[in-house]
Amino acid sequence: MKNYKDQWEAKQSELAQLLRYRDGIVIEQTIDVLDEVRYATEREFSIRNLDRDSNLLRNVRGPLSRIEAGSFGVYLDCEEYISAKRLAAGPWRLFCIQCQELADRIKSESADSFDESLVTDN
């Protein structure tokens, strides 16, 4: 457990440092249209990187908070123990494969019924 915690704390620090760098999203004005397109592309790339790193940081903080709460290593829904192999692959996973598939299916069906209601309400 300590090994996992140390790794995630190091990753958390690394990601927090990356998220402090936001110079890439500054909007630069120029007369040249090609430069504006290039700046916009670079800005979009920087925004996507920040978004990805923010999500990853959130994923790293989850296991750390569960370690502190004493609930780490157990799936939320079925309360089964998480195997060491699965922990190493993705410690932020909260559901076993079967529970995740069920949650995804419910989410998909909910989205489909919402889409259908938009079409039929017109």
- List the one residue out of 70, 46, 74, 4 whose CA is nearest residue 12: 4
Q: What is the pLDDT along the chain (122 residues), one digit of tens a residue?
A: 677 778 778 888 888 887 776 665 666 777 888 888 888 888 888 888 888 888 888 878 887 888 888 877 888 778 888 888 877 777 677 788 888 888 888 888 776 665 555 555 54
Query: Helix or strand or coil: residue 74?
Result: strand
Residues 82/73, Cβ–Cβ less than 8 Å:
yes
Domains annotated on the chain, with CATH: 2-120 (1.20.120.910)
**pTM strictly above 0.85:** no
